Structure 1
Amino acid sequence: MATVADWLGAACLVAGALLSLAAGIGVLRFPDALSRMHAATKPQVLGVLLLLLGIALRLRSPADLGMILLVAVFQLSTAPVAAQMIARAAYRAGRLDRGLLDADELAERGADGGSAGPA
C-alpha cells in the first residue's frame, strides 16, 4: 500500500511542478496584466495544491498533515484576494486593454471603482 501512495505522491509532485512552471512561463509571456494575473493564480494554486498532496502522501504523519492543511487553506484564501487586488490596481492605473473585457462593470461606477449613486 505504501508503494502505491509513493507513486501517487510522485505523480502529484511532478504534475504540481509542471503546473507551477506553466504559471511562471505565463507570467513572463502573457501581454497584459489580466492575463498575467490569471496565470499567476489559477495554475499556480492548483500546482501548489498538487505539490502539497504529493508531500502529504509521502510524509503521512499527523503533525505534517496538519501543517500541510494549513498551508493549503492559506493558499486557497489568499490567492483569489491577491488576484482581485491586482486586477483592481491594473484597472485603476489604466494598465489593461479595455477592449479585451467581456463586460466592464466598473466603468458604470466611475474611474475610482466607487458607487455610482449619490453619497
Structure 2
Amino acid sequence: MARAATTSDVFNAIAEPQRREILALLRAGERPVTELAQELGMTQPRTSKHLRVLREVGLVRDRKAGKQRLYGLDARGLRPVHEWTGGFERFWNESFDRASASSPAPISPRTR
C-alpha cells in the first residue's frame, strides 16, 4: 500500500526528526523562520519547506508581524497522534510496573 503524502498526514509529517525539532522549539512561543533556521543549523529555504509541511497538516500556524512572518505551534493537530499512542499506555504501565517490582528496593540514607 502506498504511503500518504507527507503534507496530508500528521504521522508522516512528524516522522522527520527536524520537523519534531521545530515543533519542540515552537513550544516556547512564536519565532521567525530565520531564528528557527539558525537554531537548527539549517538553511532558511530548507526550514521554510519543513514549516510549510507542518502548516499544511495543521501543526503550525503563521502570522505576519511587520516585515516578518512568525510561526507558532498549534498542538491541536497532534490529537490523532495522542489518541493513537494512548492505546498503548496500558502496555507502558504494565512494563513500568514489572520493572518496579523486579528492581531492588532503594537504599535509604544512614542516619547518624
One fold, TM greater than 0.5? no
TM-score range for the pair, normalised by the shorter chain length: under 0.3
Quick check: which one's helix share is greater? 1
Larger Rg: 2
Quick check: which one's strand share is greater? 2
Q: Under a length normalisation based on structure 1, what TM-score does the superposition of the two structures give?
A: 0.23
Q: Under a length normalisation based on structure 2, what TM-score does the superposition of the two structures give?
A: 0.24
